[in-house]
Amino acid sequence: MFHTTFYLRRLHSLVGLLALGLVLFEHIFTNSMAIGGPKALNGALAMMELIPHPIFVAIEVTCIGVPLLFHAIYGIYIALQAKNNPSHYGYVRNWQFALQRWTAWYLVVFLLWHVFYLRIFVKGITGTPISYELLQTYFTSHPVFTVLYILGMFAAIFHFTNGITTFCMTWGIAKGPRVQSVINVLSMCLCAVLCLVTLVFMGSYFI
């Protein structure tokens, strides 16, 4: 018997790990160049512009856009069915389960805003290239948006790193509680490191 939900949940888990992971690491790596100043970040952005536009758009749509859209839509369906009660149970994994759902809701709104403003409006409609100077002006002039952006990055980082543990459990990679605990600790350590890197490169715009 073909269990649609069984395979959809595994596809949802796989797509989220690969698509969100790809976007997240590329985003953090590129933006971390801001630590080296305008020349370093603008050089990294210029490297991406070397990819022919039709190929770049095709990659964005097929490798990022469609997978993330599927992950978001099916994720909303899962979240609406989930029963979170972290205050009642109080143990770590239950809080992480709840945070996974809460960050998902935040990310839906955050990514719509972030992609529309920078990718579609600024770069696509106005034709303004993304640069260190542009981002510095934007962040230093809009402190509220800066806070929302940092929270969005933190949400994406936690959602991805906590998803590593969930992925390993869903796919049967981590079968015992001890292995699951080790993977969870390593995932949260990665979460802390990526959040720290985010704070450092964001802080570089204000120095």
Q: Which tokens belong to 49? A: 């512009």
What's the whole-model pTM score? Answer: 0.89
The contacts of residue 66 (CB under 8 Å, 6+ apart) are: none
DSSP tag of 205: G
- Model pLDDT for residues 160-178, shown as the tens digit of each residue: 999 999 899 888 888 888 8
Comparing CA positions, the residue from 114, 156, 157 lying closest to residue 135 is: 114
Q: Which amino acid is at 110?
A: F
Spatial separation of the C-alpha atoms in residues 101 and 99, rounded to whole Å = 5
* The CA-based dihedral angle spanning residues 83, 86, 91, 96, taken in that order and rounded to the nearest 10 degrees: 70
Fold (topology level) of 4-206: 3 helical TM bundles of succinate and fumarate reductases (1.20.1300)
First and final C-alpha spacing in the chain: 60
Spatial separation of the C-alpha atoms in residues 37 and 42, rounded to whole Å = 9
Spatial separation of the C-alpha atoms in residues 145 and 168, rounded to whole Å = 34
User: What's the gap between Cα 100 and its chain centre?
Assistant: 12
The contacts of residue 128 (CB under 8 Å, 6+ apart) are: 122, 134
Do 187 and 162 contact (CB within 8 A), yes or no? yes
- Model pLDDT for residues 12-32, shown as the tens digit of each residue: 888 888 888 888 999 999 999
- Model pLDDT for residues 42-51, shown as the tens digit of each residue: 999 998 888 8
Ranges of the chain whose pLDDT falls below 70: 1-2, 82-90
Comparing CA positions, the residue from 203, 155, 164 lying closest to residue 182 is: 164
Spatial separation of the C-alpha atoms in residues 71 and 125, rounded to whole Å = 27
Would you state the pLDDT for residue 61?
87
